Amino acid sequence: MEENIKTEEASRQRTPLKKNAIVVGGSSGIGRETALKLSAKGYRVYNISRTPFHGERVQSLTADAAQEGEIGEAIEKACEELVSLDLLVYSAGFSMAAPLEYAKSGDYRYLFEVNYFGAIEAIRAAAPYLKQRCGRVILVGSLGGDMPIPFDGFYSSSKAALTMLAREADLELRPYGVRVCALLPGGTATDFTYSRRVYSEEESKNYSSPLKKASAALANMEQGGMSSSLVADSILKLVDRKNPPTVAVAGGKNNVLRYAYKILPERVTDFFVRKKFNQK
């Protein structure tokens, strides 16, 4: 009898603990694909989003990243159930096509709450649990954070801030065994394209024509881009890497594009951006 108990204890010690993950913004697009792939790999997954996750393989909590405190409370609740945390993926996002001159403060402040401040709140809430398991944080950024997108400048600015947040957080949390990475996808074919807040002709006034052209070009680029499944694969590869880069790009073509953008003079890259988005 005593031998059987010892054998069972030894077996439990050899069996790796089930890993736990929280995906913020996993009800659709890249976040949903990531949550499903993590579940298929054996993770226990919680999704936190404003819209519930539909599916049995992932637990779901409702919270709005734009409302201060809601993401933090949801993460605390999820961690109480999970007990420990190995991975936090922040994939919540909002985009708007609007002229700087006429953009409404409520719109761009909401954008930053979702894209940037929500990520800060998520990291702060998850950090104590991640430290216990030498966990990992993946922030889903964008190549748009490295280059301007006409009339989508608030989104680009928020993603640039998110990339810097990943670098800063990695510096602070690395001594505790926690790694923080920003993954930068390019255009990705998801419903995110159709949920973008595009200002009307009345709202955009004299910018209406160039805004429409830029918005249409951006939509075409996204819908002709990578699938959300491939971007999710890039996230999982980052999770599995022993020593991941702090900033990574999804897709070989996008890697080349980012490298070219960094080495070319700004006047040259800005010229190509204007051409790409049909601007004068």
pTM for the full predicted model: 0.91
Inform me whether the pLDDT recorded for 2 exceeds 90: no
On whether residue 121 sits in a domain, the answer given is yes
On whether residue 3 sits in a domain, the answer given is no
If we measure between CA atoms, which residue out of 262, 280, 263, 258 comes closest to residue 271? 280
Percent of the chain with pLDDT over 70: 94
Q: Residue 162: which CATH number?
A: 3.40.50.720
CA distance 224 to 272: 18
Averaged pLDDT, 163-187? 97
Contact between residue 118 and residue 92 where contact means Cβ atoms under 8 Å apart: yes
pLDDT band per the 50, 70, 90 thresholds, residue 15? very low
On whether residue 174 sits in a domain, the answer given is yes
Q: What is the pLDDT of residues 201-260, one digit of tens each?
A: 999 999 999 999 999 999 999 999 999 999 999 999 999 999 999 999 999 999 999 999
- In DSSP terms, which residues pair with 44 in a beta bridge? 20
**pLDDT value at residue 5:** 42
On whether residue 208 sits in a domain, the answer given is yes
Tell me the pLDDT of the chain averaged across its residues: 92
Residue 172 domain boundaries: 17-276
Inform me whether the pLDDT recorded for 122 exceeds 80: yes
E strand map for the chain: 20-24, 44-49, 59-62, 87-90, 96-97, 136-140, 179-184, 188-189, 197-198, 226-227, 247-249
- The count of structural domains within the chain is 1
Q: What is the pLDDT of residues 220-233, one digit of tens each?
A: 999 999 999 999 99
On whether residue 200 sits in a domain, the answer given is yes
**pLDDT value at residue 280:** 87
Residue with tokens 């918005």: 215
C-alpha separations of 108 from 41, 74, 105, 159, 165 in Å: 37, 24, 5, 13, 19
On whether residue 204 sits in a domain, the answer given is yes
Q: What is the pLDDT of residues 35-79, one digit of tens each?
A: 999 999 999 999 999 998 888 889 999 999 999 999 999 999 999
Residue partners of 39: CB distance under 8 A and separation at least 6: 45, 57, 58
On whether residue 2 sits in a domain, the answer given is no
pLDDT band per the 50, 70, 90 thresholds, residue 18? confident
**pLDDT value at residue 104:** 98
Inform me whether the pLDDT recorded for 13 exceeds 70: no
- In DSSP terms, which residues pair with 23 in a beta bridge? 47, 89
Rg of the chain, C-alpha, whole Å: 20
On whether residue 132 sits in a domain, the answer given is yes
